[in-house]
Structure 1
Amino acid sequence: MSQQGQQNGPGGDSGYDVLVIGGSGVDTVVRVDALPVPLADSVGVSPISEWPGHTGGNVALGCQALGLDVKFLDVIGDDWIGGQVRERMAKGGVDFEPMISPAGTRRAVNLVDPAGRRMSFYDARDPEGLRMPRDFYAPHVLRARHVHVTIMGFARHLLEDLVGSGVPLSTDLHDWDGIADHHRAFALSADLVFLSAAGAGERIGAVMREILREGRARAVVATAGAGGSYLLTRDGGSTPRHVPATLPPAPVVDSNGAGDAYVSGFLYGRLAGRDLEACAGMGALAGAYACTVAGNSSLIGPDALTAEPSGAA
């Protein structure tokens, strides 16, 4: 375990606190005056920036910044975009071990308005037949206290093995509508499920109950941005409990990565033995902090995460 983890994190003496599988790439961020963008042949914008991370990368970086020992496995390209991912993970202290795919590294173009809201154009580019060999990931699973698996196509083929390992498993379904079969496989396999409330809209409560009823999850968390989040557990009744959003400590700049930061904060609390509502509060604080900086340029640390809350939105 890293020195930082020994001092601040809740991890054990050996192995990894969190193994993250899949979900790296580079975001190209374009700041616009409003969303949706008016139709025009050309629109002047402020300097365009690029942020390596994506969902798996951001969770890995967020957990590492909190003093957890992290291993990150993924498939990227032998290209300059993949080089950006490698460089960012190294800078963040993440033990990143990628396989190389001839299809290249995933990308996204994100339009961000002055309020920090975004519209993302995601280029997954992974071929349908992409696989991660068992001998590549299995030894790391056995060394992990917790596995966070992203909803990459190749990762779907790992689910049965991950469940069989007995290591606690989490996933983020993002804006799942509650219908798509690809996301459902992850929803029903994980012990802890995150998703955005936006995807299912008014049906989000029913979707959360279905995940608990049909799957293995002990808890489901739906994030709703400035509206806070909702927590549903097997022993907490049938109505999701609302967890207020935390007031950002500075003006909102960019909501990219806020959901991933929420996951990192929640996992930190869970590995520290906090109850689920306390974990949701820590997730809310980490997500609010992430909104005050561009991309993943600054991530909340354990001291700020465990400080007394300054207020709720």
Structure 2
Amino acid sequence: MTFQQVSEPSDVYDVLVVGGAGVDTIVPVGALPLPSADSHPVPPIHEWVGHTGTGVALGCAALGLATGFLDFIGDDHPGSLVRERLAGTGVDFRPLVSPHGTRRAVNLVAPDGRRMSFYDGRDPVDLRMSAEHYLPALRRARHVHLSIMHFTRFLYDDIEALGLPVSTDLHDWDGLTDHHREFALRSDVVFLSTAGAGERIGSVMREILHDGRAEVVIATAGAGGAYLLTSDDRTPRLVPAAVPPGPVVDSNGAGDAFACGFLYGRLAGRPLEDCARLGAVAGAYACTSPGTHTTLVGPDDLRAVLADTAAAAATVTAPHGDEPGLPEPPAAQVSRTGA
């Protein structure tokens, strides 16, 4: 494994993403689940740079947050695609080259946007990122987002020693699988979907809060919205889904986009329900174009949500003639990525 220096470091990262780069092969199918057959004719199959870390990094950079991204990729064609996709986006991408290659996934996508993913993680369990690679980046970060790659769990001790807030996305965790548990219990902000735990999602969210260090747990439910739980809540609060700005064609990357919108609001000091609303808007945007991480919400779209929230509150609480205040989005100089 060799270190690839790609650009001068940013003075500060609003968000440092670790792990989760890869390439998706998107296969459009007529319906999910697929009926049993030897073969299915499908429309053209496309390849997109995707996976969770890429989505969070691209989404945060598109929102004007200074974003760093550390990961392993292969010296292979998919790795080249990852580099090309991130170049010029504002993401300061600093990869290590792994002989095991770049992660892949094959995603079946139905006409209503639902998907089924077949994930090839390919990282061996003994893969580790050296402290000399990640510590300088951690020391410049305001917030760290760890993808649930096995190697990223070994950064938690240093993250805690530096006093940094950390988030993670457990995706469709069922609340039982051991791989996810350390991420669930050692993160301050925990995202997951309702798909894995089903009707048990409320108890899983409460377990994360009770047994771990999380301040907030957010479970996304697609068109059903999302659920937010803090230690002040007896039951999860429903956050309604946002209306997409166009037809829903592909839900790949919606959860990553939700996390970006939420973190944008959190870094701006917004209340947690506002953060969840911003996440819902970002997730809805992601569903309106084919492929993974191809439509990214911008800061103006999210500021409009904050303005609407402030205006609605002013009609109830502000004296006549008062102008509700709206904080500026987080100020940061976005770093540029070299080739």
Whether TM exceeds 0.5 here: the answer is: yes
Q: How far 1:172 moved relative to its partner?
A: 0.3
Instruction: Find out whether 1:134 has 2:136 as its counterpart.
Output: no
The Cα RMSD (Å) is 1.4
Q: Give the distance between the partners of 1:24 and 1:183, measured in 2 at CA.
A: 18
Q: Secondary structure at the match of 2:87?
A: helix
Which residue of structure 2 lines up, in the alignment, with residue 262 of structure 1? 258
Which of 281, 288, 291 in structure 1 is aligned with 2:287? 291
Matches within 5 A, 1:196-235: 196-235=193-232
Instruction: Find out whether 1:151 has 2:155 as its counterpart.
Output: no
Q: Give the distance between the partners of 1:190 and 1:222, measured in 2 at CA.
A: 15
Instruction: Find out whether 1:306 has 2:303 as its counterpart.
Output: yes
Which residue of structure 2 lines up, in the alignment, with residue 240 of structure 1? 236
Which of 170, 185, 189 in structure 2 is aligned with 1:188? 185
Q: Secondary structure at the match of 1:221?
A: strand
Q: How far 1:161 moved relative to its partner?
A: 2.0
Q: Which has the higher contact order (CA 8 A, sep 6+)?
A: 2
Native 8 Å contact 1:175 1:198 kept in 2:
yes
Q: Give the distance between the partners of 1:188 and 1:132, measured in 2 at CA.
A: 21
Q: Deviations over 1:190-245 (max 9, x none)?
A: 0100001111111111111111111111000000000000000122x220000000
Q: How far 1:37 moved relative to its partner?
A: 1.4
Which residue of structure 2 lines up, in the alignment, with residue 272 of structure 1? 268
Q: How far 1:42 moved relative to its partner?
A: 2.3
The range that moved more, 247-256 or 89-98, is 89-98
Q: Which runs of 5+ in 2 are unaligned?
A: 1-9, 310-339
Q: Give the distance between the partners of 1:221 and 1:14, measured in 2 at CA.
A: 30
Number of matched pairs: 298
Q: Which runs of 5+ in 1 are unaligned?
A: 1-12
Which of 13, 37, 41 in structure 2 is aligned with 1:40? 37
Q: How far 1:39 moved relative to its partner?
A: 2.1
Which residue of structure 2 lines up, in the alignment, with residue 7 of structure 1? none
Matches within 5 A, 1:8-87: 14-87=11-84
Q: Give the distance between the partners of 1:200 and 1:191, measured in 2 at CA.
A: 20
Q: Give the distance between the partners of 2:31 and 2:302, measured in 1 at CA.
A: 32
Q: Deviations over 1:48-91 (max 9, x none)?
A: 11110210000000000001000000011100100001111114
Native 8 Å contact 1:175 1:195 kept in 2:
yes
Q: Give the distance between the partners of 2:197 and 2:221, measured in 1 at CA.
A: 11
Q: Give the distance between the partners of 2:188 and 2:254, measured in 1 at CA.
A: 22
Q: Give the distance between the partners of 2:164 and 2:32, measured in 1 at CA.
A: 42
The runs of at least 4 aligned residues of structure 1 exceeding 6 Å deviation read none
Native 8 Å contact 2:278 2:305 kept in 1:
no
Q: Secondary structure at the match of 2:145?
A: strand
The range that moved more, 86-95 or 72-81, is 86-95
TM-score by structure 2 length?
Answer: 0.86
